[in-house]
Structure 1
């Protein structure tokens, strides 16, 4: 659906040449929810403007459904942009128009018949959960309701791709979850390809299928969300994941003093999918008649499934430890020896 190959974008600034996007290559499949995450200045906003044709790459290609947007001009570019819609951080609603009129605006520009506009607006209001707000003004809406209007307006002309530029960063956590649930529902119902630009790994965790991590204009890590969460490779990715991890089921502080006071090996176990429900600690305790001290644990839900992390301490000899590690491998659990006495 979307393919970027060796895309670079440079700008001339007073301080010299600035590289905002540096040799970026990525692919977004049809119907995927794809997250692009990075801190301010990482190049995310420039990248999204390259995706919708508002910026031309200095080099490289940006292809949407087989068409190179970077090379398109005039009517060809206009038609290409019709396939792409945008949802903004600060809503960008027309304050002198009602909810219905905001949603209808792009349809009116496209020259759609009045009857078709009315039917489409009614359909979209129901889709985004704004029934009863048809005649409300933007000033009468909550932040979440304003973003629902923005999403409905973006969907009006049946785009193939929906770009979301920090679409939830101006919302409180509860409203953010509701908007993310809405985007997930739209993705399922319409099979719409969604690209999310964000600095919040929580957003990626909740609904994205794949994620690219940006730093200094580059993609430093990319992959399925569950894989990136369970095996982050880069320091910035590990930082994002650490900020997002949630406590659940097993919830205990990681007590370093306790580790220092007791001899033994500390193991970090990473569970994925169905493995999270296995009674591993109990079975190991019975098999080896050793006490396994639970130091810390947490579980996280992603769009691709559940994963969990558990830190254990066990006073095992070398032979027992090898056997324990082999058993854990047999369970399909990734294990890391954190400390060993």
Structure 2
């Protein structure tokens, strides 16, 4: 559905050129929810503007639904953009128009008939859960309701691709989850390809199948969300994963910093697949004759599946710890030594 090949975007700077997107190649399959994550300045927003033709690449190829967006222009680009819709962080609604009128706007521009517009607007109001608010103005809506209008408006012309540029960043956590659930439902119902641009890794964890991590204009890591969460290779990716983990740990009443005074080793075990069903702690206790104290445990759900994490304290010396780590690795359990004193 979306294929980027060796894409670069360079802007003219005051003194030196600014490389916003640096040799990026990636592929998004039809019907997939794909996340692109990175901090401010990583190149995410420039990348999404390349996908809908608002920016032209300095080099490389951008293809969406078989259309060469990088080289399209005029009427050809206008028709292509009808199939590539976008929702924004700050909603971008027309404040003088009602909910129904905002949703209808893009269809009016496209030249749809009044009857078709009326029917489609009713369908979309029901799809995004805004029944009874059709005649309300944006100033009368909550942030979540405004974003629902934005989603409905983006779906009005039956797009093939929905681009979401920081679409939940202006929302509170509870509303964010509700909007993500709505996007997931839309993806399942319509088989719509969705690209999420975000700096919030929990957004990626909740609904994305694959994720690309951007830093300084480059994609530094890419893969299935479950694999990236359990085996992050780059430091920038580990920072994002730690953000989600630390938030969940504190939310669930566990702060790793509060147990750093314990002598011995603190281990973080990550279980995936069949390893989640193994009596690992019991086997370690019997094999090594050491008291393995469970500090905290949790299960994390992603769109690709579930993985478990377990924090253990064990008063083990250097030699014993090396044996324990080798034993866990042999059982397919990823282990991080959080502390060893």
Structures share fold, TM-score greater than 0.5: yes
Check whether the contact 2:2–2:65 (CA below 8 A) recurs between aligned residues: yes
Q: Distance in 2 between matches of 1:268 and 1:325?
A: 11
Q: What is the CA-CA distance between 1:15 and the residue it aligns to?
A: 3.0
The answer for the alignment partner of 1:99 in structure 2 is 99
Q: What is the CA-CA distance between 1:75 and the residue it aligns to?
A: 2.0
The answer for the alignment partner of 1:256 in structure 2 is 260
Distance 1:128 1:214, change over 3 A: same
The answer for the alignment partner of 2:161 in structure 1 is 161
Deviations 1:273-330 (A, max 9, x none): 4544544223432454431023454432221122232232334578876775565346
The answer for the alignment partner of 1:220 in structure 2 is 220
Q: Distance in 1 between matches of 2:102 and 2:273?
A: 43
Q: Distance in 1 between matches of 2:202 and 2:15?
A: 35
Deviations 1:20-51 (A, max 9, x none): 11111111111111111111111111111000
Long gaps (5+) in structure 1: none
- After superposition, where does 1:12-91 map in structure 2 within 5 Å? 12-91=12-91
Deviations 1:37-81 (A, max 9, x none): 111111111111000001100000001122211011222212211
Q: Distance in 2 between matches of 1:273 and 1:174?
A: 29
Check whether the contact 1:20–1:43 (CA below 8 A) recurs between aligned residues: yes
The answer for the alignment partner of 1:282 in structure 2 is 282
Q: Distance in 1 between matches of 2:277 and 2:99?
A: 46
**Equivalences, count:** 337
Check whether the contact 1:270–1:307 (CA below 8 A) recurs between aligned residues: yes
Distance 1:331 1:75, change over 3 A: same
Secondary structure (helix, strand or coil) at the match of 2:57 reads coil
- Is it true that 1:194 corresponds to 2:194 in the alignment? yes
- The CA RMSD over aligned residues, in Å, is 2.3
Check whether the contact 1:297–1:309 (CA below 8 A) recurs between aligned residues: yes
Secondary structure (helix, strand or coil) at the match of 2:256 reads coil
The answer for the alignment partner of 2:111 in structure 1 is 111
Q: Distance in 1 between matches of 2:84 and 2:310?
A: 43
